[in-house]
Chain A
Amino acid sequence: MNSQETVFPVITLKYRAGDLIIKEGDYGISIYKIVEGKVVIFQESEDEEIALSTLGPDEIFGEIAFLNRAKEIRSASAKALEPSVLEVWHPSILLKEYEQMPPMLKYVADQILSRLLRMNKLIVQLTIREQNQRKGIKKQDPLTSQRRYYRKEIDLDCHYRPVGLSSKVRLPGRIKDMSLGGLGMEIVTENTTSFSHMDGDLFVVETTLPNGKGLELEAKIVTLSKGESSKRLILGMSITKLSAGAKSLLGFFLMPC
């Protein structure tokens, strides 16, 4: 074990306060150990820096990209808060060790990682919502106050139709995320050939929640974006009509506790 330590390739680097060490979205799998100084790990969202944690001597960072090699993309940025001395571990040996780790331990490590990524995503989502609230968007749009509620990522089959049309019209869709204020729906692009799908268009959306209860609401399109393939579109919708019964049903479904 000690022999591995002596051959471990290590480079030492110095940073000034304010220097960017890792940029979110970049490729890279090196791991950094702080010898001296202080480093902040943050994510950027809508031009805001959202701090995930502040690290000091003997702590390491950059490990997420290393373990999540499917992507090799940095999930967060790192910046020196003070003049800092860092040790950079070359990943190749560590990578080999990781691969050769007993499989059950590797499974455990992978599980920890996926939970960590999930929690970090949640932190960013929750923080953005808080910031939007502080900026007073609430005043511009009465429905925005409701977006404070937990936005849940889901995958629910649904049907929708333009408001005013017979309920015999049933366009298929999948609700991918939902809050009391709005929802994201994935549809096949074909749907747009038979009915208009423009900003402001109103639709009746019907779905069945996992508890078996049916839910109906009205929502308007606020954004249109490309889905995972050219055959799919994502509709960002803002809820415009929600009955008291449907609201409490949805409220229960969305409750984070």
Chain B
Amino acid sequence: MDIQQLMQIYLSDEETYESGDIIIEEGSTGNWIYIIMEGQAKVTKRTDAGIVTIDTLKKGAIFGEMALFGKLQDKRSASVIAADGPIRLGVLDFQLLLRDYEALSPQLKSLINALIRRLKESNDRVAAIVVEANQKNRQTG
């Protein structure tokens, strides 16, 4: 089954955002999971030294998925902002994905949880290094 066919089953809605619009805000709660159908989005994190962009997501990329496997009360760990023109998003059926996930064996769940935790850690790490480098640049002029 390719992604187009899957989308027909899992797509619950479509949304469009203009450049600069905030799709997901860091620290907010929410459990929408998105797939980029057209356009690009920036992933940003808030730091003591301001907002840092850590990644750019393109067509086919999924985001918001951390809410699915983490505890539902978890706050969004990064912001996602529409970049470079309008972006068209598919909103995935959360309940359907959650049901798929709950049916997995405990080992497979641990595996996916580990990947998500690792991604969160790596995101934090990148943000921290970028901030540190920027601060040094400023000091040295």
CB distance from A150 to the nearest CB of B (A): 8
Pair A113/B115 contact, Cβ less than 8 Å: yes
CB distance from A92 to the nearest CB of B (A): 12
Pair B119/A115 contact, Cβ less than 8 Å: yes
Pair B97/A104 contact, Cβ less than 8 Å: yes
A-B contact count (CB 8 A): 124
Pair A127/B129 contact, Cβ less than 8 Å: yes
Pair B52/A60 contact, Cβ less than 8 Å: no
A-B contact pairs, 23 of them (CB 8 A): A1-B105, A53-B118, A53-B121, A60-B114, A63-B115, A64-B115, A67-B111, A89-B107, A94-B111, A98-B108, A101-B108, A103-B1, A104-B9, A104-B10, A104-B96, A104-B97, A105-B97, A105-B104, A107-B62, A109-B112, A123-B126, A126-B126, A256-B53
Pair A4/B105 contact, Cβ less than 8 Å: yes
The answer to whether the Cβ of B130 comes within 8 Å of any Cβ in the partner chain is yes
For B101, list chain A residues within 8 Å (CB): 105
> B133: nearest residue on chain A (CB-CB)?
A148
Q: A52-B125, A94-B105, A97-B105 are in contact. List 5 more A-B contacts (CB 8 A).
A: A1-B105, A53-B118, A63-B111, A105-B97, A119-B54
Pair B65/A104 contact, Cβ less than 8 Å: no
Q: Which of A1, A33, A105 has the most CB of B within 10 A?
A: A105
> B137: nearest residue on chain A (CB-CB)?
A148
For A123, list chain B residues within 8 Å (CB): 122, 125-126, 129
The answer to whether the Cβ of B37 comes within 8 Å of any Cβ in the partner chain is no
Pair B115/A97 contact, Cβ less than 8 Å: no
> A134: nearest residue on chain B (CB-CB)?
B136
Chain B residues bordering chain A, tally (CB within 8 A): 50
For B115, list chain A residues within 8 Å (CB): 63-64, 67, 109, 112-113, 116
Pair A97/B126 contact, Cβ less than 8 Å: no
> A97: nearest residue on chain B (CB-CB)?
B108
**Pick from A8, A59, A94, A111: contact of B61, CB under 8 Å:** A111
The answer to whether the Cβ of A253 comes within 8 Å of any Cβ in the partner chain is no
The answer to whether the Cβ of A122 comes within 8 Å of any Cβ in the partner chain is yes
Pair A104/B122 contact, Cβ less than 8 Å: no
For A104, list chain B residues within 8 Å (CB): 6, 9-10, 92, 96-97, 100
Task: Kindly identify, within residues 12 to 67 of chain A, every residue whose CB is under 8 Å from any CB belonging to chain B.
Answer: 31, 33, 52-53, 59-61, 63-64, 66-67
CB distance from A145 to the nearest CB of B (A): 7
The answer to whether the Cβ of B110 comes within 8 Å of any Cβ in the partner chain is yes
The answer to whether the Cβ of B132 comes within 8 Å of any Cβ in the partner chain is yes
> A89: nearest residue on chain B (CB-CB)?
B107
Complex-state Cα separation, A105 to B97, whole angstroms: 7
Complex-state Cα separation, A112 to B117, whole angstroms: 10
Complex-state Cα separation, A257 to B96, whole angstroms: 35
The answer to whether the Cβ of B51 comes within 8 Å of any Cβ in the partner chain is yes
